[in-house]
Chain A
Amino acid sequence: MQRNVKFVQGNEACVEAAVYAGLNFYAGYPITPSSEIAELLSGRLPAIGGKFIQMEDEIASMCAIIGASLTGNKVMTATSGPGFSLMQESLGYAIMAEIPCVIVNVMRGGPSTGIPTHGSQGDINQARWGTHGDHSILAFTASNHQDIFEMTVTAFNMAETYRTPVILLFDEVVAHMRERLVIPETGELPLVDRLRTSVREGIDYHPYLPREDGRLPMSDFGGVHRFNVTGLYHDMWGFPSSEPRVVHELIRHLFDKLENRVNHLARYKEFFLEDAEYVLVSYGSAARSALHVVKERRLRGERLGLLELQTLWPFPKEMIREKCANAKAVIVVELNLGQVLQLVKMAVNNPERVFLANRIDGVFITPIDIMNILRLIQGKGV
């Protein structure tokens, strides 16, 4: 029996990955279908000297992880739709103050309380536009436990690299199902540690003065450098400013640090795209049904391919345009009313050839659902 092979839920894969990535502070509030993450971490974290706290709500949870991140910790919270809605204001704060943190949203059906025990992928646009004001955001997803592990580690790495909140958009289906997870050995996946300033005590440290490569070295609260952190537009000292030049430079910095790196940040997988006449574009749990269809139809000689997105934001437009360039039709498979469909339509050259294969009734989309829609598109009838 191999020691590092586990048979676990997707939520546990996320927990294993977070610990692997160096998580040492978690704050959260119970909500289905994410609660297993909090339950598992309440046991795991203190056993490795980390901290777990159950806060009074999701607002407080998000605030607490930001506070803990400032003292030098790798931090995370996990929630689902209603809690994610509550976190939006402080998510914006983390963007503005450039605080590394990871937010897991195990998506369930919405709006409002919706359908807590069933899967959905309805929060894609909320992840991008949930908090107010112009900004950019990083959001990843995954369709199986090994990828949940890898994308969770990637999320922690990106949070540190770009000093930004990173959102993991999982869904109830993958979060609750169990399958094999092989935990990588230490060192097998690269980890990014916090970039701390080399400025010594007594010399002025400017917390918001980017280096030449755009990165901002940090100094832990409680350390030798004292500075101000605020959600207001701020200068290189972190002090509030409404000077037009300061405001303009900061908003450009916050936006460009991610949007200028879209291709670099794009994570995706492709299956049988080389000669595909019909390209399915999917992500998260829905990509499992899509891949099932692609493999099954390939056996019958149909030229189907799958492009599985793992980076949802910033949306990898150019990559998608390129991968779909030769397709007779593109079918976006997702569990919502077409949130990624609209983005793919904007990305490709022939938006009228992009179709939606979806389910929005709480039932996980089946390969038969996808096949029926595909045949309709092909003019074959169901």
Chain B
Amino acid sequence: MAINKYLRERFFPHLWCPGCGHGTVLNGMLRAVDKLGMSKNEIVMVSGIGCSARISGYVDFHTLHTIHGRALAFATGVKMSRPELNLIVPMGDGDALAIGGNHFIHAARRNIDITAIVMNNRIYGMTGGQYSPLSGQDIIATTAPYASIDPSFDVVELSRAAGATFIARTTTYHVKQIDDFIKQAILHEGFSVVEILTQCPTHFGRKNKQGSAVDMMKLYRDITTPIGSKAKQENPNLIERGIFVQEDKPEYCREYEKIIEKAMGS
């Protein structure tokens, strides 16, 4: 397979469970990079902590595996100092929106050219299945034995309000969309968010009686629908997939270049 050249096979096998959706996301991400014909040297992948964050170790880019929740802050430092590099930041739902929520909204507000991928499995997998800010209500987790009462964020609406200029959502069932959306997100100049629903059969599926990995992926097929579809009008509970926001706004590093010009001129 052509995308194998992007893997650090020296460090395999990976640590993900059988049936985990994260490998599908990795696959889609590498296909996107391959289609764009990017050089490995121009990609920096920054991740935080969690199952999703281990993705950075497996790819042959410049990789920065940081601390929990702060990947976007590290990435901001890299991007600001070398704007010509492409920054891809895969994050889990807890990593991105619980401990990392503040960095997420501020990176979006600045519209800094970083591609944020939220791998949303609605659970903290690595620590053993605690509920996350994307779990939503009525979910069984190791810290919610009586079912969760916390409402969840809507990643798309949160990103939109915070100022992200490219926002898309899909699932591990819709593999073609994964590489298409990530490709467009990388090409987009500005802060891009791609939310990918990804199954955790070990911790989320088992406790919430969603069956095997395949059953969970079939569920993604059944509970999602393209943006603005007729099905959505008939059943408002369906989760929309597609590109929600795609707009041109001043990008942070480019704006800073103007500051440098101003400062050097004076």
Contacts and interface: CB of A to CB of B under 8 A. Distances in A.
A93 B10 CA distance: 24
A73 B57 CA distance: 23
Given A25-B80, A60-B106, A239-B57, A227 B63 contact: yes
Contact of B66 (A51, A55, A227, A231): A231
B57 A230 contact: yes
Interface stretch (A61-69, A142-150, A175-183, A317-325): A61-69
Given A46-B259, A56-B106, A67-B46, A25 B77 contact: yes
A318 B154 CA distance: 60
Nearest to A65: B77
A347 to B, nearest CB: 35
Contact of A221 (B60, B64, B256): B64
A228 B256 contact: no
A89 interface: yes
Contact of B77 (A47, A57, A63, A72): A63
B127 interface: no
A59 interface: yes
A101 B41 CA distance: 24
Given A223-B41, A230-B65, A60 B73 contact: yes
A75 B64 CA distance: 17
B264 interface: yes
Contacts of A72: 81
B78 interface: yes
A209 interface: no
Given A63-B77, A71-B78, A232-B65, A46 B70 contact: no
B10 A237 contact: yes
Contacts of B80: 25, 51, 53, 64, 68
A83 to B, nearest CB: 14
A66 B259 CA distance: 23
Interface string B250-261: 000000100110
A194 to B, nearest CB: 13
Interface residues of A, number: 44
Given A63-B66, A240-B57, A71 B82 contact: yes
Interface string A166-200: 00000000000000000000000000000000000
A55 B61 CA distance: 26
Interface in A55-112: 55-57, 59-61, 63-73, 75, 89-90, 93
Given A46-B260, A226-B62, A221 B85 contact: yes
Contacts of A43: 263
B214 interface: no
A224 interface: yes
A139 to B, nearest CB: 22
A222 interface: yes
B64 A67 contact: yes
A239 B74 contact: no
Given A71-B82, A231-B65, A46 B57 contact: no
Contacts of A240: 57, 65
B207 to A, nearest CB: 28
Nearest to A24: B81
A1 to B, nearest CB: 23
Contacts of B77: 25, 27, 53, 63-69, 75
Contact of A222 (B44, B66, B259): B44
Given A51-B256, A64-B74, A90-B67, A226 B81 contact: no
B104 to A, nearest CB: 10
Nearest to A240: B57
Interface string B233-266: 0000000000000000000000010011011101
B241 to A, nearest CB: 30
B121 interface: no
Contacts of B67: 63, 89-90, 93, 231
A70 B264 contact: no
A64 B76 contact: yes
B85 A222 contact: yes
Given A46-B259, A66-B74, A239-B57, A222 B64 contact: no
B41 A224 contact: yes
Contacts of B174: none
Nearest to B46: A67
A224 B80 CA distance: 20
Interface string A226-246: 111111100001011000000
Quick one: which of A72, A222, A232 has the most chain B CB within 10 A?
A222
A224 B62 CA distance: 9
Contacts of B63: 226-229
Nearest to B49: A231
Contacts of A57: 102
Contacts of B260: 46, 49
A22 B256 CA distance: 20
A90 B49 CA distance: 13
A237 B62 CA distance: 12
17 contacts: A47-B263, A49-B264, A55-B73, A55-B76, A60-B73, A63-B67, A70-B64, A75-B77, A89-B67, A221-B62, A221-B85, A222-B82, A226-B61, A226-B62, A229-B65, A237-B11, A239-B11
Given A25-B80, A229-B63, A229-B65, 9 more contacts: A27-B76, A51-B256, A59-B70, A60-B106, A64-B73, A66-B74, A67-B81, A231-B67, A237-B11
The 10 closest A-B pairs by CB, nearest first: A67-B77, A64-B77, A63-B73, A46-B263, A60-B73, A230-B65, A68-B77, A67-B78, A47-B263, A56-B106
Interface of A: 24-25, 27, 43, 46-47, 49, 51, 53, 55-57, 59-61, 63-73, 75, 89-90, 93, 221-224, 226-232, 237, 239-240
